Amino acid sequence: MRTWLPIVLGALLILVGGVWTGQGLGYITGSFMTGERLWTSIGLVCVAGGVVLVVWGARRRRT
């Protein structure tokens, strides 16, 4: 796997997770996910996974 791939995937996961968290909390309206606590949890898990991928990819890139 290329060294930049986990960083890009992690950044995308953080972005998508942030949107899902915002929808779950009701900050972003216009979706069936708005105000649903489930999407807040899923979004936070995605953000955490994205952070892990970015950190792992950055460490891998340095060595």
Query: What was the pLDDT predicted at 1?
Result: 54
The rounded distance, in Å, linking the Cα atoms of 40 and 14 is 13
| Mean of pLDDT values over 28-47 | 94
Confidence bin at 60 (pLDDT 50/70/90)? confident
Show the CA angle centred on residue 48, arms to residues 34 and 7, nearest 5°: 110
**In a 10 Å sphere around its CB, with 0-12 CB exposed, 13-18 middle and 19+ buried, how is residue 44 labelled?**
middle
